[in-house]
């Protein structure tokens, strides 16, 4: 790992939707590339926990939304959400949890370098689920991991999402049949024994973007290793929860994170 990973190169203030939260677009180093991300800080000076927000999608699909990041910061966290390489003015090219996982690792180090940040929690939505699990495996000091509608198995994504196959073949370099190792390296299920942090799985049972089978496989894998895992399954919801429920789940999951520290 490059010793300059996570080093902040540039900070630009960004308009915040919340008067109690300050937003900045950060340019930071990830294996020599200048990558961008959004930092949200509660307007208090006290030490608090860091929250690494790992977005889903690729390129313009699933972009980091300032209101969403501010929502988590309003719960008392310093939140950093990398855009991943090649996005919104960042250098390099995204490759769907391949080399671009380094952008998440460097973002973890960035949060760690901030003087007011104590513990770091990792959160992944959709494709961010694999990024979150891989990051927590890389950093054993991770305080907790939450995966919401999260991918856990890249082989399963390829077989379920016919609409994504062309993109996956392009960025990963081929099919799972031709390059199983490239899909395996992107699938955290094969490395769960190295995961120390408690995990919370949140998933809508009717999710058609990332089937609930991803959650079940992760839950089974963690249970088989006697790892700490909590699961919140929502029978009536898809990949996206209604706004009122969404806000409540945000509140509940941040309480869950804080309770892991007390534990």
C-alpha radius of gyration, the chain, whole number? 17
Q: Looking at the domain assignment, is residue 136 inside a domain?
A: yes
Is 239 an annotated catalytic residue?
Answer: yes
**Per the domain annotation, does 80 fall within a domain?**
yes
Q: Report the SS3 class of residue 160.
A: helix
Query: What's 99's domain CATH number?
Result: 3.40.50.1820
The answer to the question of residue 68 being in a domain is yes
Short-list 110, 131, 136, 104, CA closest to 121: 136
Q: Which tens digit of pLDDT belongs to each residue from 118-127?
A: 999 999 999 9
- State how far the Cα of 116 lies from the Cα of 68, in Å rounded to an integer: 22
Q: Is 105 helix (H, G, I), strand (E, B) or coil?
A: helix
Note down the domain range covering 184: 8-262
- For 112, residues 6+ apart whose C-beta sits below 8 A from its C-beta are 6, 50, 120
Q: How confident is the model at residue 81 (pLDDT cuts 50, 70, 90)?
A: very high
2 assigned to some structural domain: no
Q: Is residue 218 part of a domain?
A: yes
- List, for residues 135-167, the tens digit of each pLDDT value: 999 999 999 999 999 999 999 999 999 999 999
In this structure, is residue 3 part of a structural domain? no
With respect to residue 225, please indicate whether it lies within any of the assigned structural domains.
Answer: yes
Is residue 126 among the annotated active site residues?
A: yes
Q: What percent of the chain has pLDDT over 90?
A: 97
- C-alpha 247/C-alpha 239 separation (Å) is 15
- Is 243 inside a domain boundary? yes
Task: Confirm if 182 and 106 have CB atoms less than 8 A apart.
Answer: no
Q: What pLDDT is stored for residue 263 in this prediction?
A: 72
Which one from 30, 119, 121, 126 is the annotated catalytic residue?
126
Q: What pLDDT shows up at residue 71?
A: 97
Sign of torsion over alpha carbons 126, 128, 129, 130 = positive
Mean pLDDT over each residue of the chain, to the nearest integer: 97
Q: Number of folded domains in the chain?
A: 1
d(CA 122, CA 129) in angstroms, rounded, equals 10
């Amino acid at each position: 790992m490059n010793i300059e990973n996570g080093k902040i190169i540039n900070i630009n203030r960004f308009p915040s939707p919340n008067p109690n939260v300050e937003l900045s677009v950060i340019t930071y180093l990830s294996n020599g590339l200048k990558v961008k991300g959004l930092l949200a800080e509660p307007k208090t000076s006290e030490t608090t926990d860091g929250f690494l927000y790992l977005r889903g999608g690729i390129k313009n699909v699933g972009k980091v939304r300032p209101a969403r990041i501010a929502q988590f910061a309003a719960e008392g966290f310093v939140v950093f959400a990398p855009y991943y390489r090649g996005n919104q003015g960042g250098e390099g090219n995204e490759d769907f949890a391949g080399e671009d996982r380094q952008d998440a690792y460097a973002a973890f180090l960035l949060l760690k370098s901030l003087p007011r940040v104590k513990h770091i929690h990792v959160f992944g939505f959709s494709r961010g689920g694999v990024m979150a699990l891989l990051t927590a495996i890389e950093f054993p000091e991770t305080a907790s991991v939450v995966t919401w509608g999260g991918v856990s198995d890249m082989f399963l994504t390829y077989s379920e999402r016919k609409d994504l196959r062309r993109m996956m073949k392009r960025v990963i370099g081929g099919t799972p049949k031709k390059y199983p190792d490239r899909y395996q390296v992107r699938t955290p299920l094969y490395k769960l024994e190295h995961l120390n942090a408690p995990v919370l799985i949140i998933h809508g049972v009717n999710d058609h973007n990332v089937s609930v089978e991803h959650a079940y496989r992760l839950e089974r894998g963690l249970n088989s290793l006697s790892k700490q895992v909590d699961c919140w399954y929502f029978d009536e919801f898809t990949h996206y929860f209604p706004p009122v429920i969404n806000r409540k789940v945000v509140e509940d999951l941040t309480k869950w994170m804080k309770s892991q520290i007390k534990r």
